[in-house]
Amino acid sequence: MDVVTAHEPAWPRGLCVGCGQVWPCEPAVAELVDEHGTGLPLAAALWAMFDQAAQAVPTAPALALYEQCIRRPLRYVARLTAGAGR
Ligand SMILES: [Zn+2]
């Protein structure tokens, strides 16, 4: 399967292969919200990403990975949902 523009993380740098932004980029977060909504399933998906990242980059500081994979996307989602008003 060729998915040329997929927004996927490239570890160990933690950048998106689709657009080169810090993972998860805004399109990737939007896709996760589409798929999981903004509640617990989304949090579970972010934790799964965090787990993947921790395994891909065992030397990375857990706190930095947590910030990148969970806190940062959740802040973005909070902004999204505040703006959308739903
Ligand atoms: Zn991207």
Q: What CA–CA distance (Å, rounded) separates 42 from 9?
A: 17
Mean pLDDT of 37-44: 95
Q: How far is the CA of 64 from the centre of ligand 1 (A)?
A: 19
Q: How far is the CA of 17 from the centre of ligand 1 (A)?
A: 6
DSSP assignments along 18-62, one per residue: TT-SBSSPHHHHHHHHHHH-SSHHHHHHHHHHHHHHHHH-TTS-H
Mean pLDDT of 58-76: 96
Q: Are 27 and 18 in contact (CB under 8 A)?
A: yes
**pLDDT surpassing 60 at residue 70:** yes
**pLDDT surpassing 60 at residue 35:** yes
For residue 22, list its beta bridge partners.
15
| pLDDT score for 83 | 75
Its pTM stands at 0.84
- Average pLDDT for the chain: 91
**pLDDT surpassing 70 at residue 4:** no
Q: How far is the CA of 56 from the centre of ligand 1 (A)?
A: 18
Q: How far is the CA of 22 from the centre of ligand 1 (A)?
A: 8
